[in-house]
């Protein structure tokens, strides 16, 4: 962080940040530190929306956004940074416009890219603090490792259905002691497919607002040196029961990044590390091919492996067998004709096919590419 003591404010800025400056344990010095700070936010979705809004409103001088995705209708239930008019726009561009409208006295740096092992260290080194708002294990490990290797604090949060988590990783306190990182909490990723993503399992719309705001609070504390950050502690919030828990995290001697015998000295292949590249490909069928089968009278069985609530919301007349019950219901799946299995986007149905092929020897299964989302898009386009 550049020398914050040289930071000056205009009269308009002083009026804007007045409620910060008059706090006895915050004051002008903390506001100067905020303006001098450079914070990198990875992802501008559910968590990134409130995180970015409150960092911008607080007066963080430079905010970097790493985001490659576009705004979709399904985002608006929880990603409050965007409006209906932003659908189809690049998220990073829409976010930049919204944040500059909220606070014209800060600088927004946009990185239209997916975070990878090739660019992560270069990006992370440009900033003082990193805030991880991603929703998949490969990227979480990537962000963590890049922060440890670059000596940066990683303010972490995650959400799923009704539960959220917050912690601060790789934080060095005033005594020069560096706290635990993500690998101390999760030494190894879960098996592929065990933990569904928010796109597959859903998330309560208000939850990212709660957890993302807590994440913003931790970033502000780290930047300003105010209070006690969540270093060495994992905060868990259950919105359904309105219960909170805090677990202590300790550094592990076998941590491959900074344990007693480190083995990771550069960024690795995180898709491979999380087991995603080891999955064998499954046979696929496009929506157009499926429609041709229907028109030509091809005999096939159609199976939906989503959950009951998803099926009731929208379905295409398939036999419902949720992914978690596929093995128990394998006898309901035809072996004498082609079987097309679908979910929302194609990920869960691919896992169902691998399970059925590996456990029960099926060889007549097809994964619907793009799932019901693509089916509805194509059929709607054809209809119009």
Residues with catalytic roles = 198, 343
Give which of 284, 321, 313 is closest to 373, Cα–Cα: 313
Place of tokens 């092992």: 117
Long-range pairs, 296-302, Cβ under 8 A, ≥24: 298/338, 299/337, 299/338, 300/337, 300/338, 300/339, 300/340, 301/333, 301/334, 301/337, 301/338, 301/339, 301/340, 302/339, 302/340, 302/342
The closest of 145, 141, 143, 90 to 113, measured between CA atoms, is 90
């Amino acid at each position: 962080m550049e020398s914050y003591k040289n930071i000056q404010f205009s009269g308009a800025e002083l009026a804007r940040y007045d409620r910060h400056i008059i706090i006895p344990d915050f004051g002008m010095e903390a506001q100067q530190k905020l303006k001098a700070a450079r914070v990198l936010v990875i992802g501008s979705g559910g968590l990134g929306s409130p995180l970015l809004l409150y960092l911008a409103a607080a007066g963080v001088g430079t905010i970097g956004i790493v985001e490659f995705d576009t705004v979709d209708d399904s985002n608006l239930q929880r990603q409050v940074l965007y409006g209906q008019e932003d659908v189809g726009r690049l998220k990073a561009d829409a976010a930049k416009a919204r944040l500059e409208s909220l606070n014209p006295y800060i600088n927004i740096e946009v990185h239209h890219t997916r975070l990878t092992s090739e660019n992560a260290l270069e990006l992370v080194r440009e900033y003082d603090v990193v805030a991880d708002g991603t929703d998949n294990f490969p990227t979480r490990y990537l962000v963590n490792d890049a922060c440890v290797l670059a000596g940066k604090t990683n303010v972490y949060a995650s959400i799923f259905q009704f539960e959220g988590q917050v912690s601060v990783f790789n934080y060095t306190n005033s005594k020069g002691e560096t706290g635990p990182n993500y690998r101390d909490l999760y030494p190894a990723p879960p098996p592929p497919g065990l933990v569904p993503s928010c796109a597959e399992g859903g998330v309560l719309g208000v939850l990212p607002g709660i957890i993302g705001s807590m994440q913003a609070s931790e970033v502000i504390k780290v930047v300003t040196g105010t209070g006690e950050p969540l270093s060495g502690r994992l905060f868990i919030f259950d919105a359904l029961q309105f219960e909170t828990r805090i677990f202590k995290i300790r550094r592990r001697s076998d941590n491959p990044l900074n344990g007693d015998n480190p083995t990771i000295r550069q960024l690795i292949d995180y898709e491979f590390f999380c087991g995603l590249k080891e999955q064998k490909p499954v046979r696929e069928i496009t929506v157009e091919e499926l429609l041709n089968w229907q028109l030509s009278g091809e005999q096939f069985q159609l199976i939906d492996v989503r959950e009951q609530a998803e099926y009731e919301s929208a379905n295409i007349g398939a036999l419902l067998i949720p992914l978690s019950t596929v093995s128990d219901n394998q006898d309901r799946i035809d072996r004498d004709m082609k079987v097309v299995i679908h979910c929302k986007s194609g990920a869960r149905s691919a896992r169902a096919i691998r399970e059925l092929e590996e456990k029960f020897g099926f060889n007549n299964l097809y994964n619907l590419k793009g799932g019901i989302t693509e089916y509805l898009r194509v059929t709607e386009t054809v209809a119009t």
